[in-house]
Structure 1
Amino acid sequence: MASAIPVECQMPGEDYDFQDVTELFVEAGKEIKPDSIVFMHNFSLHEAMSALEIGEPRLDSGLIVQEQVRPPFDPLMLLLPEEVCWVLDRALAYETEFHAGNFLAHTVHTLLYVHHLHDIDPETISPSKLQHDDHDRPIELVTVVLRAAVQGLLKCCDMAWRELAKGAAYDAEDWQSDKCDVLLLEGMPVPFAISQLDDAIGWLFHAVEIPASWRAALRARLQLRKSLLQVMSTEPTKDRIEFQRLVFAAKEHLAMVKASPTIECGDDSPAALAFDPYIGRRLQTATPIRVIPAPSFEQTCETVSRLLDGLQEVGLLETVSDLSTWQIMGDLRMWLPEPPAQAAYIRSLTQTTFYDGFLVLSKYPFEWMVNRVFYETIGVRYDWIRANIINRWTGEEDPPLQKIERSISKLITPHFRALWYNPPRRRRHFMKALLEWHGLYDTLVQITDDLELEDLPRNHILAQLPIIALLWRLPIVREVVLSGFQLELYAPEERAFAYWYAARVIEEHLEYLDKVLPVVQNESPVYHEMVYQTHFLTALQTLCSASSLISMPLISFDWDRTRPNFFRRYKWAFRAEYDAYESPVICPPELHEFIRICGEILSEDDPVLTDYVELARSLLQGLVDANDTGAWAGLWASDRNQLVQNLISVCDNLSNLPKTSDEMAQFDAKSLKWDPAVHPWFPSLNTDSTA
């Protein structure tokens, strides 16, 4: 502990005749080797593991070692223009780290000007301190330019905090809400912060003593901050054109910032004192101090660019009233490895843009959403379905139409919001929602049983009402199963069943599409999308079947051990609440059926796996050649095409699988590699090991 006490510090208790016992402990510990423990009577391993190191930085944030001693911070210290640019860039870098889910105390609050805004306010500073003869370092760079930028930074963090606090993103899971009792200028109106930035930009136009290149660099950073604040304070559903204009303006200013990178400031620069990574010692927080290195200038610009791309995407989605497009978009952002996962702020803003708590897209009531669900699923509006149910009802009581409407309202809005949850929470939501979807299916079955349908064709849409719920539920089951690969949840011996079950679910889905397709109006968007889904899902099912077969050598075939693991993994499908419904669950996971299939495969010759892969590739290539991306992809048609191209790449890689039974017998399934960065669902084959 003696080496950790600064030389200039006085020994505590000098006024009370305390004695320094440091040397006593040093002498007593000479014979103890590093990392060793002195055991005493009744001092077991439990006590050793429970002991806390005195001065452990993670537990004792008050410990200040010599290397962390810093000179007092002077908020009015004069800075060169390039040093101010460096401070602004580093502050922006830490802001991106806050959006990445880190604490404010470890990121934005490390900028000491955040805590000294009052000290650099020109209206409160004495005139004598404002008078300086250093023309290279005008004090206005601090009191006008830097102050306005810090205010804009804090106000942007305030806007982000307000959005994230709405509950669409989860505190401590997606982001950290602890402000550490530091104000984010919550009481400052956004227009005032913007006016301060305008004043700073105007001052730079007339600051002829500053080199033109650095004036342009500073203006670009202030304009970027201004546009970020403007776009974050504009609701896309209420001012669509202005929101999109501001996003494009921010992109232009970011390009100007990229074109004028700053010079890295060394430790001897006064600007280096503007950041204190250990500021948490002086804040009201219980969070252990964590030093987060600031991203590089290039990394920061790339992160801000992705943030603006996400904002632009929100603005585009807001113009779309097709639920299927929202579904496709949410799935693509999960299924495509690029671009990277969006920040919690973007995901939260997307959710609140879709549903603000009262209206869908801030203009549509639930009645519109129910009609839209039925139309985009089977090509018929709910109003028509409702009228025909009433006319053909034969039950003793009134038809449970309100129950249907409540179920859909309860299911659909959370479903679309869940598309922008983080991946684990999204999967958990879908697993829980499957029970409610089955309840809707059961209600539709009961309604169909009490309808007079004898004078209608067998494939009439009224006779197939339960399929509506299944066309939503089965894709969710498929997503739950396949997302387990993306989240790397499955042990090697679990993969074969997961692929086999996914193939069964897709097969069931295809059967219901075949039943509904003949009654959907030709050339309608619904018909076009169903045809696309038929081709795409057939290819996906084939790939799942092939992946199940090549994963079977990884199974232990110890069924007594497999059964408990199976019921733990698929417990969402065996909830006791399912017993309350009369209708059986469609396509539940069945281990006994999988065991039977495995026995049949083992007793026969190995199938030619490359045939499965070639079939899947031909179907996918057909979609690419026909430039078919379905009816609802819209502005994201290229992303949907990229999804297909990625699956074609999987097929090309797996085409190197053994082609004969003898070759398959010698094939080592451990050469398969499951890497979500390569593909979220399917393995890649190490071609070197199969050569």
Structure 2
Amino acid sequence: MDMDSGPKGTDMPGGDSFQDVTNVFLNAAAEMESGSLVMMDGFSLLDAMSALEIGEPRLDSGMILEKNQRPPFDPLMPLLPEEVCWIIDRSFSYEMEWHAGNLLSNTVFTFVYVHELGAIDPDMIPYQLPFAGDPERPVELVSIVLRTFIFGYLKCCGLSWDCLNRGILQDIEDWQGDKCDVSLLEGYPVKSVLARLDEASNWLLHTMKIPPLWRDGLRVRLDLRKIILRLMNCNIFDDPGSFMDLLQRAYELLDIVRAHPAPMPQDDSPAHLAFDPFIARRLTTFIPIREIDVPSTTQTWDALEKLLDGWREMLSLSLTKYITTWEIVGNLRRWQLIRNPAYIRSRIQSCFYDGLLVLNRFNLSWLTQSFLTETLGVNYERIVKVIQDGWKDVTSPPLSQMERSLAKLLNTHITGNWLNAPRRRRQLMNLTFDWHALYDLFVNLACHFSNDTSPVYDVVKQLPNAALLWRLSTIREIILSGFQLELYSQEERPFAYWYTSQVIERHLCCLDEILPVVPLDSNAYGELRFQKQFLTAIQIMSIAMFSVMAALLPFDWQRMKPNFIRRYKWAWRPQYKDVCTHPVGHPQLYKFLPSTQEISEDKFYSPSESFGFARVLISQLLEPTFRNDWAGEWRDERAKFLQVLVTTCDNLAGLPCSMRDAASFDLKTLHWDPQQNHWFPRLLPTLPHAGL
């Protein structure tokens, strides 16, 4: 019944005048027992609870603020050609945002036409339309051009979603895979979508209903979508030449789109209604609605170019048959903080190993052969022959076990370089034990030849060091990645730098033992020599940072020990007790305090000069005298990273000139910013004191 609102000014839910329907519910529930529920198909208790309005816009999908009110959407609203171009460009923006890790419901699915494909089907559109006679807004712009583009748009998203869904990338951390029960044309053939795009492009080519300028603009955008779809559907190993041609064409089309942007529609244009940031109200999802900031057109094309760059790098890697090169590129991607989309990282992992073959042509045993050849510079068959000829035990040498363990370990290690940074760090922690188990296997193998003095057995005796090189590199990456991920507190940083120097010291010892047995003319020798000088420079820089910070930060054993155990918990795993060989490179806190005292009392040690010496070593690596063959076409990128370290050395040359001066150094002038430098801080200029 009609009810008065009561005292004037009272703000009642639903307005000041409403009908009380309480009796309707009471009568309907009269025969129900207390505590019973009426359930219906597709409507659960969670749905009922979600329907309650609690006044929080982020959680109440049904709550619509006045500023977010939108007029009803008409999928057949007339559009100008430039408005369709703008809609297409904006759809690219949302697609790139999904690749950046946002929800489908907040990005791709906000494109309202995605949910209205049936309404704009040319076979279903009535013959008589209110705007059928508008020559500037032909209905085909929506029913043919825009609808066909959406087919390609959804199919590209469907192929991406399928690739990520089948890959090893994890939800939430890398990408958002909630489809909200919306079709991404999973069962629709790619060839049919490509044919539709060709038909739409052909219609634009011959129609006289659209001005030539926007006719060409629409065709370029359809062609760009078609090329992206073909790239996503292409097996890179089938025809690398064709794949490269597609990439080149994609770059050309992208340049054209950049040079001829679509203008922003006027405020009253219906094109703005093509995207609804609150579309999740209509979708099957329980994730709170979030309106994302749509990137600018320039940022969108930059993101798309980065996607193309990822494909180009994947093509180059697919043609690379050296695991050392894969390792170098993977390290550069982490050290340079280049964040490739999860889709590209997943494709690169599948490119290396598809579950059956490595690089689409080798079995897993090839990894073992490559590892020994590229680390020791000696053919694997030669090593096997030396082992078999000199084996004196009644049992057979554990070659098959070595191959299985090493192949599995290398596959996980290489593909893991394209995980996201936190997950990669956790994986490296797991791999430290696997490398140690392999080291133990090599130690037992080399023990059988410990009494043989013939030079022919020198390579076999270096097998343990070959495993140690990779294990110590793994440990070093775990430590230094903590700076990139901003994990360390101020009190933890001195130990992290000191521990880095200790790990590198053991690594350099391995290199000194291996280098004499590696052929001088091999690529392995050139890379090992490069690594030796590079690590020497990093060690000098780490010791310098440790010396300055340890002299100024108090050492609280009661506080340091629990943090130490938690931070380096990967080293205390019980599995290590099952291996007879003592682990190499584990952290030793009891040695830290004596080292602190020793370097603090060193009158001749200069942190500033240390960075100057490190600069000289890194600068020498940039000279052509250092062989850099394993880096391949990524030599320039490696040089750019080295140049960053040179700049770091120049900046930190302002540290104290002696340990005596370190006592008065202001630690607040050291600023850690992973976006500028990954492992070392930046020395801020000291502000002059204001005059009295």
Provide TM-score, normalisation by structure 2. Answer: 0.91
User: In terms of mean alpha carbon deviation, does 411-420 or 64-73 score higher?
Assistant: 64-73
Cα separation, 1, equivalents of 2:225 and 2:10:
46
Question: What percentage of aligned pairs have identical amino acids?
Answer: 45
Please state how far the C-alpha of 1:124 moved relative to its aligned partner.
2.4
Q: Does residue 556 of structure 1 match 2:554?
A: yes
* Alignment partner, residue 567 of structure 1: 565
Question: Is the Cα contact below 8 Å between 2:78 and 2:131 reproduced in 1?
Answer: no
* Alignment partner, residue 428 of structure 1: 426
User: Structure 2: which 5+ residue stretches go unaligned?
Assistant: 1-8, 26-51
Corresponding residue SS for 2:355? coil
In the superposition, relative to structure 1, how do residues 295 and 629 fare at CA in structure 2: closer, same or farther (>3 Å)? farther
Corresponding residue SS for 1:247? helix
1:614-640 Cα offsets, whole Å, 9 max, x none, are 111111111223363622011100000
Cα separation, 1, equivalents of 2:245 and 2:441:
47
* Alignment partner, residue 487 of structure 2: 489
Q: Which amino acid aligns with 1:84?
A: V
1:643-688 Cα offsets, whole Å, 9 max, x none, are 1111100110011122245533321122111110111001111133
Question: Is the Cα contact below 8 Å between 2:551 and 2:600 reproduced in 1?
Answer: no
Please state how far the C-alpha of 1:266 moved relative to its aligned partner.
3.5
Corresponding residue SS for 2:326? helix
* Alignment partner, residue 47 of structure 2: none
1:304-344 Cα offsets, whole Å, 9 max, x none, are 1111111111111111111111100010011114xx41110
* Alignment partner, residue 594 of structure 2: 596
* Alignment partner, residue 471 of structure 2: 473
* Alignment partner, residue 191 of structure 1: 191
In the superposition, relative to structure 1, how do residues 4 and 490 fare at CA in structure 2: closer, same or farther (>3 Å)? farther
Please state how far the C-alpha of 1:558 moved relative to its aligned partner.
1.1
* Alignment partner, residue 298 of structure 2: 298
Question: Is the Cα contact below 8 Å between 1:6 and 1:65 reproduced in 2?
Answer: no
Cα separation, 2, equivalents of 1:570 and 1:576:
14
Cα separation, 2, equivalents of 1:461 and 1:11:
90
Alignment of 1:508-657 (within 5 A): 508-605=506-603, 607-626=605-624, 628=626, 630-657=628-655
Alignment of 1:280-295 (within 5 A): 280-295=280-295
Alignment of 1:373-384 (within 5 A): 373-384=371-382
Question: Is the Cα contact below 8 Å between 1:629 and 1:640 reproduced in 2?
Answer: no
Please state how far the C-alpha of 1:157 moved relative to its aligned partner.
0.1
Cα separation, 1, equivalents of 2:231 and 2:61:
38
Match of 1:439 among 437, 440, 460: 437
* Alignment partner, residue 31 of structure 2: none
Corresponding residue SS for 1:165? helix
Cα separation, 2, equivalents of 1:503 and 1:326:
25
1:339-375 Cα offsets, whole Å, 9 max, x none, are x411101111110000000000111111222100110
1:148-167 Cα offsets, whole Å, 9 max, x none, are 11111000100100111123
Cα separation, 2, equivalents of 1:667 and 1:629:
40
Cα separation, 1, equivalents of 2:688 and 2:676:
19
Corresponding residue SS for 1:171? coil
* Alignment partner, residue 251 of structure 2: 251
* Alignment partner, residue 666 of structure 2: 668
In the superposition, relative to structure 1, how do residues 6 and 312 fare at CA in structure 2: closer, same or farther (>3 Å)? farther
Please state how far the C-alpha of 1:11 moved relative to its aligned partner.
4.1
* Alignment partner, residue 70 of structure 1: 70
Question: Is the Cα contact below 8 Å between 1:99 and 1:343 reproduced in 2?
Answer: yes
* Alignment partner, residue 43 of structure 2: none
Alignment of 1:155-166 (within 5 A): 155-166=155-166
Please state how far the C-alpha of 1:65 moved relative to its aligned partner.
2.5
Please state how far the C-alpha of 1:113 moved relative to its aligned partner.
0.6
Please state how far the C-alpha of 1:282 moved relative to its aligned partner.
1.0
Match of 2:676 among 669, 673, 678: 678
Q: Which amino acid aligns with 2:606?
A: V
Cα separation, 1, equivalents of 2:666 and 2:450:
59
Question: Is the Cα contact below 8 Å between 1:158 and 1:186 reproduced in 2?
Answer: yes
In the superposition, relative to structure 1, how do residues 65 and 661 fare at CA in structure 2: closer, same or farther (>3 Å)? closer
* Alignment partner, residue 176 of structure 2: 176
Alignment of 1:44-123 (within 5 A): 54-123=54-123
In the superposition, relative to structure 1, how do residues 449 and 271 fare at CA in structure 2: closer, same or farther (>3 Å)? same
Question: Is the Cα contact below 8 Å between 2:449 and 2:457 reproduced in 1?
Answer: no
* Alignment partner, residue 403 of structure 2: 405
User: In terms of mean alpha carbon deviation, does 420-429 or 456-465 score higher?
Assistant: 456-465
In the superposition, relative to structure 1, how do residues 426 and 3 fare at CA in structure 2: closer, same or farther (>3 Å)? farther
Please state how far the C-alpha of 1:227 moved relative to its aligned partner.
0.7
Cα separation, 1, equivalents of 2:453 and 2:299:
67
Q: Which amino acid aligns with 1:393?
A: W
Match of 2:460 among 456, 459, 462: 462
Question: Is the Cα contact below 8 Å between 1:513 and 1:534 reproduced in 2?
Answer: yes
User: In terms of mean alpha carbon deviation, does 552-561 or 617-626 score higher?
Assistant: 552-561
* Alignment partner, residue 154 of structure 1: 154
Cα separation, 2, equivalents of 1:130 and 1:221:
28
Corresponding residue SS for 2:151? helix
Cα separation, 2, equivalents of 1:147 and 1:479:
49
1:448-496 Cα offsets, whole Å, 9 max, x none, are 1123752413981122221111111111111111111111111111111
In the superposition, relative to structure 1, how do residues 689 and 406 fare at CA in structure 2: closer, same or farther (>3 Å)? farther
In the superposition, relative to structure 1, how do residues 463 and 204 fare at CA in structure 2: closer, same or farther (>3 Å)? same
* Alignment partner, residue 370 of structure 2: 372
Please state how far the C-alpha of 1:394 moved relative to its aligned partner.
2.2
Question: Is the Cα contact below 8 Å between 2:375 and 2:524 reproduced in 1?
Answer: yes
CA RMSD of aligned residues (A): 2.2
In the superposition, relative to structure 1, how do residues 237 and 127 fare at CA in structure 2: closer, same or farther (>3 Å)? same
Cα separation, 1, equivalents of 2:191 and 2:353:
27
Cα separation, 2, equivalents of 1:533 and 1:587:
18
In the superposition, relative to structure 1, how do residues 69 and 10 fare at CA in structure 2: closer, same or farther (>3 Å)? farther
Question: Is the Cα contact below 8 Å between 1:441 and 1:469 reproduced in 2?
Answer: yes
Please state how far the C-alpha of 1:387 moved relative to its aligned partner.
2.2
Corresponding residue SS for 1:70? coil
* Alignment partner, residue 35 of structure 1: none
1:268-304 Cα offsets, whole Å, 9 max, x none, are 1111111111111111111111111221111111111
Cα separation, 2, equivalents of 1:404 and 1:543:
37
Provide TM-score, normalisation by structure 1. Answer: 0.91
* Alignment partner, residue 42 of structure 1: none
Cα separation, 1, equivalents of 2:347 and 2:244:
14
Cα separation, 2, equivalents of 1:321 and 1:224:
31
In the superposition, relative to structure 1, how do residues 225 and 130 fare at CA in structure 2: closer, same or farther (>3 Å)? farther
Please state how far the C-alpha of 1:397 moved relative to its aligned partner.
2.4
Cα separation, 2, equivalents of 1:392 and 1:16:
96
Q: Which amino acid aligns with 1:402?
A: S
Cα separation, 1, equivalents of 2:405 and 2:600:
45
In the superposition, relative to structure 1, how do residues 53 and 140 fare at CA in structure 2: closer, same or farther (>3 Å)? closer
Q: Which amino acid aligns with 2:57?
A: P
Cα separation, 1, equivalents of 2:302 and 2:395:
61
Question: Is the Cα contact below 8 Å between 1:439 and 1:581 reproduced in 2?
Answer: yes
In the superposition, relative to structure 1, how do residues 131 and 271 fare at CA in structure 2: closer, same or farther (>3 Å)? closer
Q: What count of residue pairs does the alignment treat as equivalent? A: 655
Q: Which amino acid aligns with 1:71?
A: P
In the superposition, relative to structure 1, how do residues 267 and 130 fare at CA in structure 2: closer, same or farther (>3 Å)? closer
In the superposition, relative to structure 1, how do residues 605 and 87 fare at CA in structure 2: closer, same or farther (>3 Å)? same
In the superposition, relative to structure 1, how do residues 689 and 548 fare at CA in structure 2: closer, same or farther (>3 Å)? farther
Question: Is the Cα contact below 8 Å between 2:135 and 2:209 reproduced in 1?
Answer: yes
User: Structure 1: which 5+ residue stretches go unaligned?
Assistant: 19-51
Cα separation, 1, equivalents of 2:555 and 2:231:
57
Cα separation, 2, equivalents of 1:297 and 1:5:
42
Q: Which amino acid aligns with 1:178?
A: D
1:106-152 Cα offsets, whole Å, 9 max, x none, are 11111111011111111222323498110000000000100011111
Question: Is the Cα contact below 8 Å between 1:629 and 1:637 reproduced in 2?
Answer: no
Q: Which amino acid aligns with 2:59?
A: L
